[in-house]
């Protein structure tokens, strides 16, 4: 049985669906708001059977600020990690800004932070 979750934007139920579109996300599960698309349009990837909702974590923001203080830190990363960190530093979506990160983003950043001995903990 699928758990029910309330949409964090409008409070209606969120529905779990499967990506049918061909490409890298084909077959991946995601959650959408059950309300009218034009009113809410909330979308979240699935994370272990539940929506990967943004969580507020100022410690992650502090880590990113520490990380960009020295350009050499970026050189220790793979190309994919550089792109990932860069996307969090320069996020264009104002609804995600303000110390909000998904569980998956925090998990990846923790993995990256483990490469640095004096990294702030989060």
End-to-end Cα spacing for the chain: 34
Q: Per residue in 92-103, pLDDT tens? A: 554 544 566 777
Q: Report the C-alpha gap between 58 and 122 in whole angstroms.
A: 9
Q: Per residue in 48-93, pLDDT tens? A: 777 777 777 778 878 888 887 776 787 888 888 888 887 777 655 5
Query: Which residue, among 87, 81, 86, 82, has the nearest Cα to 111 in the 3D structure?
Result: 81
Name the DSSP letter for residue 31: E
Query: Which residue, among 36, 45, 38, 48, has the nearest Cα to 102 in the 3D structure?
Result: 45
Report if pTM > 0.75.
no
Alpha-carbon radius of gyration of the chain:
17
The two beta strands, 43-47 and 50-51, are antiparallel
């Amino acid at each position: 049985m699928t758990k029910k979750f309330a949409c964090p934007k409008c409070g209606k139920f969120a529905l779990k669906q499967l990506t049918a579109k061909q490409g890298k996300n084909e077959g991946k599960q995601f959650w959408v708001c059950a309300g009218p698309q034009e009113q809410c349009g909330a979308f979240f990837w699935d994370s272990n059977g539940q929506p990967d909702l943004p969580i507020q974590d100022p410690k992650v923001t502090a880590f990113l600020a520490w990380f960009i203080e020295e350009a050499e830190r970026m050189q220790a990363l793979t190309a994919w990690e550089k792109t990932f960190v860069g996307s969090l530093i320069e996020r264009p979506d104002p609804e995600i800004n303000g110390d909000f990160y998904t569980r998956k983003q925090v998990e990846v950043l923790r993995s990256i932070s483990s490469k640095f001995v004096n990294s702030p903990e989060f």
